[in-house]
Structure 1
Amino acid sequence: MAQLIRSAKSGSDWTNADLLAYNISITPTSPAPSLDHLDSTILTSPTTEDPTLSESTADYLGYLDLATHATQESATATLRLLGFNARHTTARAAQTDVCIIYLRGQPVLEVMTIPCITMFGPTPTFYLVPVTRELSDAVMTAQYPTSETRVLKYVTVAAHQRRISDGMADPEFRKLALKRFLAFKSLAKSY
């Protein structure tokens, strides 16, 4: 592993080679909670044209339609719909150029698991990224960490899905994706 080139870079610029260079593996996994508390038309309506839709359902489906045309608003709308906004918490879409800085007066942790969601158009993928002090030091000093970092990845793909770009605009896929968001919400709270 000594011959691999290591450098700090933006999260969206990491490749499989970078993961290998820092001894990071990604393991797919799959949760499945209930969606019984949601308006059932959110799960079944393919369009906002239905005059019987509630205002909030029509708004949400409108955001999904926008997402198929490359906007980040559907991610924020989905997080709000599923109650990710809690006291002192705000759901916002952001570009992924993020780093963790040790704050003065705060203890340095040996490990911290960071819950992450990426959106490719209207298609979510979920990650739990354990960041150890060893990994942090290795990235800062461009060294190979001796311990492997295992990232959990929740891939959202429906069996019948025709095109990945349809994402949550497809009612069957939407149901699966919303279940994944809820499972992830519970998991993220525990971290």
Structure 2
Amino acid sequence: MANLMHPAKSASHWMENELRAFNIRVVSVDTAAFFGNPTLPPAPVSPTILSNLQLPDGAVENEDRLFFEYLEDALSEGSNGAVVDFSTFLLRMMKYDHNNRRICTKKMSFNMAGQYVDAIADVCELDNFQYLLLVQVHKAIAAFYQNNLRRNMAGLPLLSQHVIAGITMVGTAPVFYRIPITMSLLDAVATGSYPQEETVVMRFVPPVQNTQVYMSKGMRTLEGRRVALQCLEAFKSAL
């Protein structure tokens, strides 16, 4: 398969076939393997969020009100826009924009099979020189390309490899990824060829009692909400 050519596609159209074509395998791992610690930290959010299924009556903090309003929009509308709004608020509430970082939406491009194609990150965390986190895992190759482009323009040495953090939102249920991107993978994508080196992506689903309930209801349940927020807190330290 060394000379396999694969047609250029924007990242939004990547499916399982693209992963196989570029020798990418996704494996599910447990808490200890993903975070290096089997114990999740407490979620630094208010008891109002952790103990109420919906916005309680009476006066509440503005952040609590916004959490329940964005959550309800994402659950009731089910549209990509509502989920993006909820994801953006969630990352800001969890202080992912600390240390002069930004939470934003960005259009990126990268070279695939000799053509430049687009990858739009629904939500990403960005510092001065690199994309740190992408909500939607298949944008990681574009992020690595853009990170090196920024480093080159700043006179910094290029990265030969980098692990990019990823989150996919299944409704209001975050699933976490660690995505190792190398120059050899980038070159394979650029030429549309099959890389000999396998790329193994780690996938982590929050450790709830019932994964099917979590994937369908997300943060509508208190258990799903508590564990997802704990995972977001743990993930933040990896960026």
- TM-score w.r.t. the length of structure 1 is 0.85
Question: 2:163·2:181 contact (CA, 8 Å) conserved in 1?
Answer: yes
Aligned-pair CA distance for 1:164: 3.2
Higher helix share: 2
Deviations 1:43-63 (A, max 9, x none): 121001432643321221211
Cα 1:79–1:133 change in 2 (3 A) is: same
Cα 1:127–1:163 change in 2 (3 A) is: closer
1:170 to 218, 221, 227: 221
Cα 1:9–1:155 change in 2 (3 A) is: farther
Aligned-pair CA distance for 1:131: 0.7
Higher mean displacement: 17-26 or 1-10: 1-10
Residue correspondence of structure 1 range 39-118 to structure 2 within 5 A: 39-51=46-58, 53-68=60-75, 69=77, 70=79, 71=82, 72-92=84-104, 94-95=121-122, 98=139, 99=142, 100-101=145-146, 102-103=148-149, 104=153, 105-118=155-168
Question: 1:7·1:139 contact (CA, 8 Å) conserved in 2?
Answer: no
Provide the secondary structure at the position in 2 that maps to 1:91.
strand
Residue matched to 2:27: 27
Question: 2:2·2:195 contact (CA, 8 Å) conserved in 1?
Answer: no
CA distance in 1 between partners of 2:202 and 2:214 (Å): 24
Cα 1:177–1:117 change in 2 (3 A) is: same
Give me the CA root mean square deviation: 2.4
Higher mean displacement: 24-33 or 99-108: 99-108
Residue matched to 2:13: 13
Provide the secondary structure at the position in 2 that maps to 1:92.
strand
Aligned-pair CA distance for 1:36: 5.4
Aligned-pair CA distance for 1:30: 3.3
CA distance in 2 between partners of 1:2 and 1:147 (Å): 11
Aligned-pair CA distance for 1:37: 3.3
Cα 1:5–1:165 change in 2 (3 A) is: farther
Cα 1:34–1:163 change in 2 (3 A) is: closer
What letter is aligned with 2:46? Answer: D
Deviations 1:68-99 (A, max 9, x none): 12211111121112111113212235436852
What letter is aligned with 2:67? Answer: Y
The unaligned stretches of length 5 or more in structure 2 are 32-38, 106-120, 123-135
Provide the secondary structure at the position in 2 that maps to 1:115.
strand
Aligned-pair CA distance for 1:35: 1.8
CA distance in 2 between partners of 1:149 and 1:76 (Å): 29
The unaligned stretches of length 5 or more in structure 1 are none
Question: 1:44·1:172 contact (CA, 8 Å) conserved in 2?
Answer: no
Residue matched to 1:187: 238
Question: 1:23·1:145 contact (CA, 8 Å) conserved in 2?
Answer: yes
Aligned-pair CA distance for 1:2: 5.2
Residue matched to 2:127: none
Provide the secondary structure at the position in 2 that maps to 1:147.
coil
